[in-house]
Structure 1
Amino acid sequence: MPAPSPGTPRPGGPAAHGLTTGAVARRLGVSATTVRSWDQRYGVGPAARQDGRHRRWAPADVAVLEEMCRLTSSGVPLAEAARAALGTRGPGAPEPAPGVPAPGPVASPGQPAPEDLRRTSRGLARAAVRLDGPALDALLRRAVARHGLVPAWEEVMVPALHAVGRRWEAAGDRYVEVEHLLSWHVSTALRQLVPPGRGTAPDAPPVLLACVPAEQHTLPLEALAAGLAERGLPTRMLGAAVPAEALDSAVRRTGPAAVVLWSQARSTAGHALARHVAGTSFGVRGARTRPLVLLAGPGWAGRLPEAGMQRPGSLREALDLLARRYGR
């Protein structure tokens, strides 16, 4: 029996049973055209081809593409990312760490860099689609370190969450795991940013953070909690779907300087509850006080805030309002 010619896949070999380009593209969260372009321009292609023509991607080939995605998502130029990714295929070659930042000057926190922010947000969404947890962690850390919390939240995390949410809505239940993974990593990153309570006086009244009853979206409140901790302001996080009775009890027990009520949709916005909280007084007789109530989230849109309430339009505005409450 004659030996197979070089480049001809053996029956049952990896090229015969590898993934198609379309399957690899779906796994990585990029288009099939992008995968083919990387192969044609930079040689980031399969080591073998079925019948010498059709691409079939073995696990080692997919690993190279995954590294390419990690690097380009972090801002590394395509040609440089291709060289680094292909270097991982050779025996003994060092593997670049996920999320290696692009060479060049690093922006100061808060310094505008819209294109870099958009590129990082797209990379975050793609890493979520391919369920790449290490890349998500690296991209989130880099975004906050380069731009600061507020731009990272408003220009990177929120657009990526919206993009994944739209894909989920368009594809039924196919991307539920993607949204859950991204949300978990964003939540983890926010909680790790600043140690809670840093620089706060132990007897300072806190900011009480709560989702209204039936509201499950906590990430915006977690971003606000991180920003308040960064500014040295005390917080108490009650989390998702806080019952009205529990919220009333927490307000009376903690005597907060402010209460932030998050509502994602108009169906969950409880204006009667907000009025009740704004009217709650506490403290010693003759010096009783009421909390400032911040109506946060799109669920409160459409009605003007009443006495004792304000409706911030962004994370930065909410942080500034609360800082002024403490005379900062």
Structure 2
Amino acid sequence: MPQTPSPPRPATALSTGAVARRLGVSPTTLRSWERRYAIGPARREPGRHRRWTPGDVARLELMCRLTADGVPPAEAARAALGAAPGAPRARRAEAAPSPAPGGPDALPLGAVRPECRGLSRAAVRLDAPTVAELLEAALAEDGLVTAWEEVIAPTLHAVGRKWATAGERYVEVEHLLSWQISAALHRIRPLPEPPRSPPVLLACVPGEQHSLPIEALTAALGQRGVPARMFGAALPAEALRDAVRRTGPRAVVLWAQSRTTADPALARSVAGIEWGLRGARARPALLLAGPGWGADVPAPRTERLYGLRSGLAVIESLAPPRAATGAAGAGPFAYGS
């Protein structure tokens, strides 16, 4: 006897928070749209949280595109509801989405997670509160490393590509997004540092202003209890060398965004700095990060870092220090081989 075919599985329904992250709006905005314009989930069960089907999300995406193009929210909601399946053909045609996904101002994201599209939409709108909320949600749900690699960095790269092809446009989007990312990273509280443990020094080379990637690395080290000293953008060369001598670090991370700022001579001089008692001298491991550095390392005990996750693994694999050079507070720690 032939078996009755199983009914098709229903499409996955999303929570309000998940939809908000995908669209780049706050959950409060979605609830407000539902209350004011009746653009909510098509089906709701009493006593349960709202769940949004793919059709519900498609209507919201259309409303977001229309409002981003300057259509008043009430009109955008009517158009989005009119575009629902089963609506009159004329009304669906009025609200037909633009050929480019997200409209002409959308960022060139490619194949990315939905959270990237939501974050990029909020950034293009210069909606700082929603950008901050989406960043906090990504960091809380995915953790810093995954959120950086799969949500934050792809969105930043898309903003950079858009800026590079649009003249002076979108500079404000990049600045706002970068500021919000930096603020979110600074809100991550590090674990207490182990006593008398040599730090990792992190700095941009002189002339380099792009510090976000090593801000992320600093925050990730702090989450793991690894002592870190972050000096930010464009640290002068002599100040960097002085900091190395004064702290006896486990490692020095130098970030260079472009070939014009990367300085192999500075890298060699930092790698050659020694400290400690005669006969027990130590040097830091030098880690070169960023696309500005070439494939070849310019000095011994130097290594290239190629990403946040792998960079953390390299730093955590470094040998712990042997001992201090003297009494507590008398000098920097010696670095063990």
DSSP-derived class of the 1:285 partner: coil
Higher helix share: 1
Stretches (4+) displaced over 6 A: 80-83, 101-104
Residue 21 (structure 2) aligns with: 74
Where structure 2 has 5 or more consecutive residues not aligned to the other structure, the ranges are: 1-15, 38-48, 53-109, 322-337
Q: What is the aligned-residue RMSD (CA, Å)?
A: 3.1
Shift of the 103–242 alpha-carbon distance from structure 1 to 2, 3 Å rule, reads farther
Count of paired positions: 237
| Cα distance, 1:267 vs structure 2 | 1.2
Residue 18 (structure 1) aligns with: none
CA contact (8 A) 2:271 2:299 kept: no
CA contact (8 A) 1:73 1:122 kept: no
Residue 234 (structure 2) aligns with: 241
Residue 294 (structure 2) aligns with: 301
CA distance in 1, matches of 2:274, 2:248: 8
CA contact (8 A) 1:73 1:124 kept: no
Aligned-partner residue type, residue 153 of structure 1:
W
Q: How does 1:1-328 map to 2 (within 5 A)?
A: 72-75=19-22, 84-89=31-36, 118-193=113-188, 195-196=189-190, 198-304=191-297, 306-327=299-320
CA contact (8 A) 1:121 1:160 kept: yes
Shift of the 309–124 alpha-carbon distance from structure 1 to 2, 3 Å rule, reads same
DSSP-derived class of the 1:265 partner: coil
CA contact (8 A) 2:22 2:117 kept: no
CA contact (8 A) 1:215 1:268 kept: yes
Shift of the 326–141 alpha-carbon distance from structure 1 to 2, 3 Å rule, reads farther
CA distance in 2, matches of 1:82, 1:238: 38
Q: Deviations over 1:113-159 (max 9, x none)?
A: xx996111111111011011111111111111221111111111111
CA distance in 1, matches of 2:231, 2:29: 46
Shift of the 102–160 alpha-carbon distance from structure 1 to 2, 3 Å rule, reads farther
Shift of the 103–204 alpha-carbon distance from structure 1 to 2, 3 Å rule, reads farther
TM-score, structure 1 as length reference: 0.66
| Cα distance, 1:199 vs structure 2 | 3.0
DSSP-derived class of the 2:150 partner: helix
Q: Deviations over 1:34-74 (max 9, x none)?
A: xxxxxxxxxxxxxxxxxxxxxxxxxxxxxxxxxxx997441
CA distance in 2, matches of 1:254, 1:234: 11
Deviates more, 1:171-180 or 1:153-162: 171-180
Shift of the 301–317 alpha-carbon distance from structure 1 to 2, 3 Å rule, reads same
CA distance in 2, matches of 1:156, 1:322: 23
Shift of the 102–314 alpha-carbon distance from structure 1 to 2, 3 Å rule, reads farther
| Cα distance, 1:303 vs structure 2 | 2.0
What is the aligned-residue identity percentage? Answer: 53
DSSP-derived class of the 1:259 partner: strand
CA contact (8 A) 1:70 1:135 kept: no
| Cα distance, 1:86 vs structure 2 | 2.8
